[in-house]
Structure 1
Amino acid sequence: MSGNHALRTVPRPGDAPAGDLTGDDLVAAAARLARELLQDLHPRWEHTRAVAARAAAGAGAVAPDDRALLVAAAWLHDVGYAPALRVCGFHPIDGGDHLRRQGWSPLLAALVAHHSGARFVARVRDLGAALAAHDDPRAVQGPLADALTWADQTVSATGEVVDVEERLADVLRRHGPDSPNARCHHLRGPYVREAVRRTEERLRRPGGSVVLPPGGPRD
């Protein structure tokens, strides 16, 4: 599959504009785009599918009207790794910028751009100005941002559910001691831990636990 093909097939002709999609239609379109961009990238695709399933299982941590948005963001959080989308080389920004250019909702693009404390890494990489284009505060803090971080940071790079401490340690191992991730870990690590804690606290409340189908295409 060529990069140009991937860029022009979602949304498809005749579909509603991406920014107008809601509910199951939004989740299905997000899953389709994630598949088209990432299915040949292993284990990135396995991680993405698991994060989407995790978000669906934890959707009770956010308001009912935000649950489809959360699952869609989980499907799309790593699309910036697709070679066809690479511009600045930092996947949250490349993914968020692509979604914004293609007319997906600004909040969805911002959730992708900010997921898992990306702002801390962006500062180290001198990409703060690029990230500032995605300035929706709901993508930075609050239940939606927390739940997306929880879904991503409790799934390993290969798609297994893991403890947040194991996930943080693995990121440092894979990226190395001199990496931007390591240089901002004193800020990003506490943010991630607190987002996970807050989400799990919300899920323990009455009515907090809900499992939705992650949606989209199946293997």
Structure 2
Amino acid sequence: MGLTAWAYSLSESLLSDPLPRRWAHSLGVAKRARSLSPLMGDDAEVLEAAAVLHDIGYSPAIAATGFHPLDGARFLRDREGADDRVVRLVAHHSCALLEAEERGLRHELESEFELERPDLVDALLYCDMTTTPDGTQTTSVERLDEIVQRYGPDTIVGRFIQRAAPEIHAATKRVEGRMAEVSADDQPM
């Protein structure tokens, strides 16, 4: 079984029944990742696999610390022997270090999982932060507003996402800029 087929199967087994909305979101994030294939080249498969797996740490079957990037990455590393790059992307998706700091888990996340290449980190962040909880496309501004409203501005998630907003918007712009360059390069002269 190939990397992406395995990733979809695993994510579905962990999310579709207990967390169908989270599963829909994960499918939408993976769809966004596929749309970046022209930009990602040889890394497209790694990005798509990480995209569909990024929220598995929410699954009641594997949640341990209550911090889904750490729980998901540990499960992928320890129980699944997953590709190291996929594990690192799941661990650090969408400014996870800032949320880890809010939760008192930054040292654990940093010491256990190295950061992946910045362009891949940006790409996964873009896919996650431009996809609604139901799996449809949105803007990073609308997505952040939705997260703050859903969790509340004074919760751990609300505080973290507000702190992360400048980096989320910057990463979104970087990815959109790179996509525009690739599109322009594909235009006939």
Structure 2 counterpart of 1:164, from 122, 128, 140 = 140
Do structure 1's residue 43 and structure 2's residue 21 form an aligned pair? Answer: yes
CA distance in 1, matches of 2:90, 2:161: 20
CA distance in 1, matches of 2:64, 2:10: 18
Secondary structure of 1:115's match? coil
User: TM-score normalised to the size of structure 1?
Assistant: 0.79
Alignment of 1:56-75 (within 5 A): 56-62=34-40, 64-75=41-52
Q: Which has the higher contact order (CA 8 A, sep 6+)?
A: 1
Q: Structure 1: any 5+ residue segments left out of the alignment?
A: 1-14, 16-24, 211-219
Q: Quick one: percent identity of the two aligned structures?
A: 37
Q: Does the C-alpha gap of structure 1 residues 208 and 181 become closer, same or farther in structure 2, counting only changes over 3 Å?
A: farther
Contact 1:109 1:134 in 2 (8 A): no
Give the C-alpha shift of residue 131 in structure 1.
0.7
Contact 1:38 1:44 in 2 (8 A): yes
Q: Does the C-alpha gap of structure 1 residues 159 and 206 become closer, same or farther in structure 2, counting only changes over 3 Å?
A: closer
Instruction: Count residues in correspondence.
Output: 184
CA distance in 2, matches of 1:134, 1:66: 23
CA distance in 2, matches of 1:209, 1:193: 24
Q: Does the C-alpha gap of structure 1 residues 69 and 152 become closer, same or farther in structure 2, counting only changes over 3 Å?
A: same
Which residue of 2 is the match for residue 92 of structure 1?
69
Structure 2 counterpart of 1:77, from 19, 31, 54 = 54
Contact 1:153 1:168 in 2 (8 A): yes
Give the C-alpha shift of residue 133 in structure 1.
3.6
User: TM-score normalised to the size of structure 2?
Assistant: 0.91
2:145 aligned partner, one-letter code: A
Q: Structure 2: any 5+ residue segments left out of the alignment?
A: none
1:91-137 deviation digits (Å, cap 9, x = unpaired): 11100110010211222111001101111011011011221244323
CA distance in 2, matches of 1:117, 1:86: 19
Aligned Cα RMSD in Å? 1.8
Contact 1:80 1:96 in 2 (8 A): yes
